[in-house]
Chains A and B, each alone.
Chain A
Amino acid sequence: MVRYFKKIMHFLLLFSRQGRLRLQKWFTPTPEREKKKIIRDMTAMVLARKPKTCNFLHWMDLKVVYKRYASLFFCLAIDDQENELLALEILHRYVELLDKYFGNVCELDIIFNFEKAYFILDEFLIGGEVQETSKQTVARCIEASDMLQEVKHTHTLAHMLIL
C-alpha cells in the first residue's frame, strides 16, 4: 500500500523586511539543518521579488505563497496541487485574527508577544490543516485560556467562555 503524506501546509514563516525571522511553524517534521536552509532560501527569495509580480513562488516541489503586511512578510509553503489563492486567504485570516487579539496589530506586538501569536496560530491551524475558520470562535478560545491568568482559582468563567 503506497501512502503518500499529503499536507495542505508545510511551514509558515514570518519575517521582517530585513530578513529577521519573527515566527516559524513547521507542519511537517523537518531536520534542523534543512530548516535553516529553508529560512535562508525563503527570506532571500521573497525579499528579492520585485513589485507587481505574483505572490507565488516555487521552492523544490512546493509552492510558496507570501504576502507582505506592513513591515512583515507572511510566507506559507503548500503542496504543489493546492489552491494558492486559498493559501493567501489563510494568511489574511491569520492577520485578521492577530489584529482582533492585539487590536491594530503591528510587528512589535508579534516580536514581544510571539508566544501569543503561536497560541492564536494553534487555534487556527493544526497539523497543517485549517482547524477553525470562525474568527469569533478562535478569539473566544484564546480569551478563555488567557482568562486563567487573571482568575486563577476558578475555571468557571473560562468554561463559560469556551462554551
Chain B
Amino acid sequence: MSDVVERTLTALPSLLSSDPSPGRPSSTSKLGTLIRGITELTSKHDEEKLIQRELVSIKEQVSSPNTTMRQMKELMVRAVYCEMLGYEASFSYIHAIKLAQQGTALDKRVGYLAVSLFLNESHELLLLLVNTVLKDLQSTNLIEVCMALTVVGQVFPKDMIPAILPMVEEKLNHPKEIIRRKAVLALYKFYLIAPNQVQHIHSKFRKALCDKDPGVMSASLHIYLEMVTEKPESYKDLVVSFVTILKQVVGGKLPIDFNYHSVPAPWLQIQLLRILSLLGKNDRSTSEMMYEVLDESLRRAEMNHNITYAILFECVKTIYTIHPKAELLEKAAKCIGNFVLSPKINLKYLGLKALTYVVQQDANLALQHQMTIIECLDHADLIIKRETLELLFRITNGQNVKVIVEKLLEFLRHSKDDYVTIDLGGKVTELAEKYAPDNSWFIRTMNTVFLLVGDQMQPDIPNSFLRLLSEGFESAEEDQQLRLLAVDSYVSLLQEQPARLPQRFLQVISWVLGEYSSVKEGLEPATVLRLLAPLLDLRHCSSETKSWVLAAMTKLSAGPACLSVAQELAERHGGSLDTTLRQRLHELQHLASDGELLRRVLPCSDGLEPLEVDSTLSFLDGFVSEALAAGAAPYKPPHQRQEELAQEKALSVEPYGLSLPLSLSSSSIAGRLSPTVLSMSSGLSGNSTELSPKGGSALRLEGVTRVWGKEGYLAKAALKPEEAAKTEVPCPLSVLQEGGSAPRTPVVSLPAPAPGPSLQAEREKQQLASCLFMGLGSQGAAGPCLMGKAEPTRHGFRKKVKGQGSSSGARGPSGDSASSSPSPLSAQSAMDNLLCSSPLDSGSTPSPADSAPSPADSAPSPADSATSPADPAPHLPHDLPANNRPCDAQEDLTEDTDTSETVVEGNSVAVVDPYDPEPLCLSPHLPEELCGLPRSEIRPLCRDASLVLSACCVRTDHSSLLVVFVSNASDSAARRFALQMTSGDLEVSRVRGGPEEEEEHVEGHSVAVYQYSLVPTRPSVHMELAGRASYQRPDGEPQSTPFSYGLSLPDFIRPLSVSTEEYGRLWLASSNDIKQNLALLSQEPDPLRATLHRLRDRLQLNVVDIIASEGIVACQLLQGPPCLMHCRLNAGCLAVWLRSSLPELPDCLLYHCQRALAQH
C-alpha cells in the first residue's frame, strides 16, 4: 500500500507539469504554477509562506496602473484561489468590482464571479457594484445582461433594490427566455430579502407562471412556494393551474430536454407537490381537486432510481398534509413501507423521516413497522439511530414514555455532539413534563438530564422545572410529594459528589433546598446549610451559582446553629474579591443573627403572590428632573441616537449620469431615509423612563403572558381546534379498529421466527417492541400497561412544544487532523473519472434486493392485510370548508393543452366562484343597535343540509363584534345548537343571546343571531378564527360543522384622538419603530392630504395635524396601545415612521397602509 502511495507521489510533479489531457485548458499559467507549488510543499508552514508571498505579488500587481484588464482577470482568479485556501485577500475586493466595471465581457465575467465569492449581501463595497449592474442591465449584449442578473440573484444590497427594480421588471418581457428566467429569479431574491418592495408586481409573477417557456415557469414557482407558504388562502384560485401543470409534467408533455434520467422534470414536480400540499392543507374542496394528479404521480413514479424516490417521498408528504382520502392514504402508506423496508440505507432513512412526519396522524403505521424501527434503533449508523429516536419521540404517550425516554437517555450518554445533546435534552424534558407516570420517575429523569446535558442546556429547562415545582398542579398532596422527592434526591446528591454537578444543576438544587427543605421532616436547616456551604469552595463554581447558593442559605438561616455556619463562612470568604459574594455573605450573617428581620425580609408565604414591579421606573422621575435642571442632556433612546448619527454622515448613493426613468431614481434616493426628527420632540425634555425596547430584562414582569395556569399550560387551549380536526381525520385503520371493537394490542408479527439462539434475540426485540409501541393505535381504550399504573387521564405535566434548534451555542466536533495536514495530490485518484462511482459509495452499491420487488409488495404482512379490507368508505361529516376568500376577483388561469410547448396560457376568464354566496338577505336581522355602525360584508361561513352560517364584523367605538347569523332553511328545528370559537390571535367572548351554558334550538325557517366580542391578544396582519357549530338533527344524530373566519388588523384599529402635544409625549414613550416609503396619491391636487385621508377612511386612523409637508396620524389597537405615524413628503413619496409600544403593531399596520394605498 505504502509503495503505491510513494510511486504516485514521485510521479506527481511530472504529471502536473504536463497538460493533464490534450485540449483541456492549460495548467501552465501562473495559477498552475501556484497550485503546483503548493502541492509540492509538505508543511503547513511552508504553504503559508508561499501564499503570503503570492498575495504580496498579487497586491503589487493589482495596484499597478500598467496592469491590463486581462492580467487583472488572471490575478483575480489567483486571489480567489488564495481565499479558498483560507487566506484573506481583502485588498482585491475593490479590484474585483473594478474588473466587473471596466473589463470586456470576458473579464467582467471573472470580475462578477470574484465579487459574488468575496462579498456577502451586507458588505459595504457592494454599493459600488450598483452602477455597473445598472449599466450591464441596459447593455445590448445579452451575455452582459445575463451576468448582471446572475450577480443580482446572488448578492445585492437590500437598500439598493429600488434602483434596479424597474429594470429587472422590464426584463420579464424580454424575448429571450434565459433573460426572463434570470429576471424572475432576481425578483425571487428581492422577495426574500425585501418583500415589501416587490408587492406591486404580483400580477407579473402570474404572467411568469404562464410563460410559454417551462424554465421561466418553473423559476416562478420558487416565488409562489414562498408566497403560498405565507398566505395560502390568497392563492386558492391557482390550484387548478398548478394541478394542470403537474398533470402535464407527469404525463411527459414537457420537452425531453427537461428530463432527468428519463424522469420528466423532477425538480418541477417536487416544487408543484409542495405548493399543492400547502394549498390543500385543511381545505377539503381544494384537496379534492388534486387527488387525481397525486394518484397519477404515485403511479408513474415506479422506476427504480433515486429521483423517483425523491418524488414519491414528496408525494407521500403531500398526501398526508392535505385533506385525507382513504384510497390515497393507503397507497402512500404502502409507499412508506417500501422505503422503510428497503435494503438501501438512504431510502430507509427517508422512510423513517416519512414515518416521523405521518405518525401523528396515523400511529398505526409505526405499529406496522415496529420491528424495522427496533432494528434501526440498534443500527450501526448513528444518523439512522438518531432519526429513529426522532420518530420515537413523536409516538410517545403515557404508556411507553419510560422505555422511550430510557432510549433517548442512552443515546444522550454517548453523544459527543453538543448540538445533539442540547436537542435531545430538551426533548427528554418535554416528554417527562408531558407524560411522567409518577413523581419519583420524573425527578430521577430530570436529574439525569441535568447531569448529562450540563451547562449547555437551554435556559428555559431549569426555569420551567422550578416553576413546575413551585406552582404545582392538580392536588396539593402530589405537589408536596414531588417537592419532598426532589429535596430527598438533592440531599443525597450533595452528600455524594457535589463537585461533578454542572452549574445549572447546582443552581436548581440550591433553589429547591432553599424553598422546600422544610417539607422534609427532621431535616434541620443547619444540616442543609452545611451541605450547601462546601459548594462555595468549589473552584469551578461560578459567582452566579455562588449567589444562588447563598440566596438559598439566607432563606434557611434561622436559629443559632445556622448562625455559626454563617459566621464560619464569613470568616472563610470574607476576603473574597467578588463583591457580590461579600455582600451576600454579609446579608446572610446579619439575617441569621436577627430572626425578626429575616421573617420581615423573607416572609414565608405559601401562596405565590405576583410581585408588583414598577417597570416604568417612575420613582426615578424626581432624580431625572433634577438632573435635567442641572443641565444634563436629555436622554435619547439608542435608535434615535443612531438616526442622528446616520444623518450626519449619510452618503449620497444616487447614481449619476444614467439614463434612468425619473421616478426610479427618486425612489432609490429616498430608500429608507428617515423623516426629519419631529419638530416637537426637541421641545420636550428627555424622558428617561422609557422602557428598553424588547428588553428581556429580568424585572419586567408586568405584561408577561402567563404560560402556566391552574390547569397546566395555558396556550394549550389555543391548540385545541387543530387537535380536534386531527382526531376527526377519517383513517381507514382506525375505522377498522373501531369496527373490530377489541382494543388493539400491539401485535408483533414475525415471518417465521428462526430457531435456536436467534430466537432469544428475537424475543427480546419483540418485548422491546411491545413496550415501545404501547398505547399506539388504541388511543381511547386503555391498553395493557407495562408499568401497572396506567393513568390515561392524568395530565399533570403539560408542556408547550419547544421550537427545536432555537438554542445557540452548540458546537460540533472539531477534529481537524485530516484537514490541516497538507498532503500532496494523489495522482491516481485525482485522475479518476468522477462519474465512475467508487465501490465505497454506498448509495450506488448494487444490491440484489433492489431489482426484486420489495418485500412489502410481495409478502403480505399481517399489517398489510389488515388494511386491505378496510374501506367501507369512511363516513365523512358533512363539513364544508369555510370559504371567505378575499372578494377581489383574481384572474384565473385556464389550461391550454393543444400545443405541446405551451404549458399554460394566461387567458383571463371570469370564473364563477363555486362557493359564491346565495343572495343573502340577512342584513335586516342585524340587531338594531348595530345597524348604523360600520361593518364588513356578510359572508357565508359554512353550510350543511339544513343550516347556513354567515357572519360579519361590526365595529363599535370600543369593541369589535362578530355577528353570526344562523339561518335554518329546513322545516325542523336544529336542537341544542351551540357555537364554539377559538383563535390564537383573538380573545373571543359571547356578548348576548342568552346564557352561555344553555343549549338552544334554532327553529325551522328562522334566523338566530349570535354576537361575540373580539379582542386581539396580539396584533398580526391577518387573524384567523376557528369555530365549530354543533347541533342535533331531528333524528337525534349530532352534527358538527367546522368553519373559520378571517379578520384583518383594520377591524381592530380605532382612531385615537390626541392633541399635538399629547402626540409628542406618546411618541417619546413608544419604542418600537419602523420606517418605510409609501406610494403617494400623486395625481391628487394635495397629495399629502389626499393620501392621509385615504388612510383615515380605509384604516380608521386619526389625522392629528398636517403642517406643510409633514403630517401626524394616530390610532389605537382595540383595548391595546396606540400606534403613531409620522409622515413626510419626500421626493415624490411618503416617508412614514411608525412607532408603538407593541413591537408587532407598526409592522402590521404598515402592511395595511401599503394595501390601502395600492388599491384604487
Contact = CB atoms under 8 A, between A and B. Distances in A.
> Max chain A CB contacts within 10 Å: which of B117, B185, B834, B837?
B834
A12 B420 CA distance: 23
Interface in B354-413: 380-381, 383-384, 386
Contacts of A109: 20, 24
Contact of B419 (A53, A60, A99): A60
Contacts of B818: 18-19, 43-44, 47-48
Interface residues of B, number: 118
Given A44-B814, A99-B834, A85 B310 contact: yes
A41 B257 contact: no
Nearest to B810: A60
B305 to A, nearest CB: 9
Interface in A119-163: 119, 122-123, 126-127, 129-137, 141, 144-145, 148-149, 152, 155, 158-159, 162-163
A36 B820 CA distance: 12
Contacts of B116: 122
A133 B120 CA distance: 26
Nearest to A99: B835
B143 A112 contact: no
B215 A134 contact: yes
B37 to A, nearest CB: 13
B833 A30 contact: no
B150 A122 contact: yes
Contacts of B154: 122, 126-127
Contacts of A41: 812-814
The binding surface of chain A is classed by DSSP as: mixed
B1073 interface: no
Nearest to B305: A89
B25 interface: yes
B832 interface: yes
A51 B839 CA distance: 9
B310 A98 contact: no
Nearest to B21: A104
A118 B143 contact: no
A87 B814 CA distance: 25
Contacts of A155: 105, 141-143
Contact of A43 (B85, B420, B819): B819
Contacts of A70: 829, 832-834, 836, 838
B320 to A, nearest CB: 14
Interface string B820-833: 11110110011111
A112 B830 contact: no
B275 to A, nearest CB: 14
A120 to B, nearest CB: 11
A57 B842 CA distance: 14
Interface in A40-72: 40-41, 43-45, 47-48, 50-61, 67-72
Contacts of A118: 113, 117
B260 interface: yes
B834 A98 contact: yes
Contact of A61 (B31, B113, B380, B805): B805
B150 A51 contact: no
Nearest to B833: A104
B826 A71 contact: yes
B80 interface: yes
Contact of A115 (B35, B77, B353): B77
Contacts of A22: 84
Interface string A1-41: 10101100000000011111111111001101000110111
B981 interface: no
A105 B295 CA distance: 40
Given A84-B346, A106-B831, A134 B257 contact: yes
B520 to A, nearest CB: 42
Given A71-B829, A118-B113, A137-B257, A44 B815 contact: yes
Contacts of B77: 115
Contacts of B84: 21-24, 114
Contacts of B813: 41, 44-45
B91 interface: no
A92 to B, nearest CB: 8
Contacts of A115: 77, 80, 110, 113
Contacts of B417: 58
Given A44-B815, A86-B310, A129-B222, A119 B109 contact: yes
B1048 interface: no
B106 interface: yes
Given A72-B834, A83-B314, A148 B121 contact: no
A105 B122 CA distance: 35
A54 B339 CA distance: 14
A158 to B, nearest CB: 6
Given A54-B842, A122-B113, A127 B185 contact: yes
A107 B20 CA distance: 11
Given A86-B270, A132-B181, A141-B178, A96 B381 contact: no
Contacts of A104: 21, 833, 835
A126 B153 contact: yes
Contacts of A148: 104-106, 109, 143
Nearest to A53: B381
Contact of A96 (B195, B821, B835): B835
A52 B343 CA distance: 11
B973 interface: no
Interface in B506-544: none
B833 A61 contact: no
Contacts of B182: 126, 131
A105 B832 CA distance: 8
A57 to B, nearest CB: 6
B843 A67 contact: yes
Contacts of B669: none
Contacts of A61: 419, 804-805
B635 interface: no
30 contacts: A1-B1020, A1-B1144, A6-B229, A19-B820, A29-B120, A40-B816, A44-B813, A44-B818, A44-B819, A53-B345, A54-B842, A58-B417, A58-B419, A59-B812, A61-B804, A69-B835, A71-B829, A85-B310, A85-B350, A89-B266, A95-B834, A98-B834, A106-B832, A108-B16, A108-B831, A113-B24, A127-B188, A129-B222, A133-B267, A162-B146
Interface of B: 16, 20-21, 24-25, 27, 31-32, 35, 77, 80-81, 84-86, 88, 104-106, 109-110, 113, 116-117, 120-122, 141-143, 146-147, 150, 153-154, 176, 178, 181-182, 185, 188-189, 192, 195, 215, 218-219, 222, 226, 229-230, 257-258, 260, 265-268, 270, 306-307, 309-310, 313-314, 345-350, 353, 380-381, 383-384, 386, 417, 419-420, 804-805, 810, 812-823, 825-826, 829-838, 840-843, 845, 1020-1021, 1144, 1147-1148, 1151
Given A107-B825, A111-B830, 11 more contacts: A21-B85, A22-B84, A44-B813, A84-B353, A89-B307, A96-B835, A107-B829, A113-B24, A122-B154, A123-B150, A127-B188
